[in-house]
Amino acid sequence: FAGSRMLQGLLIQEGFKVGRLHVATLMKRMGIEALYRRPNTSKPAPGHKVYPYLLRKLPITRPNQVWAMDIT
């Protein structure tokens, strides 16, 4: 669960003089990464309605045939 900042502090307490970026480089070489919760932005909320894409099979052949709007 420790990241490069925490590991740097632990190493300094043990008597090793080392910088945080060097610790991060060594972590990458050894394949170590900190464990932390990541956002689940790709998971849809239960009960959330999925709206259909109405223009999927519509052939757009001329200008101003289709207009779109986004309110997000």
Q: How much is the pLDDT for 16?
A: 92
For the chain, which residues make up each domain, given as ranges?
1-37
- Return all residues near 18 (Cβ < 8 A) that are at least 6 apart: 8, 11, 12
pTM, two decimals, is 0.47
Q: How much is the pLDDT for 17?
A: 92
Q: How much is the pLDDT for 15?
A: 94
Res. 48 pLDDT band, cuts 50 70 90: confident
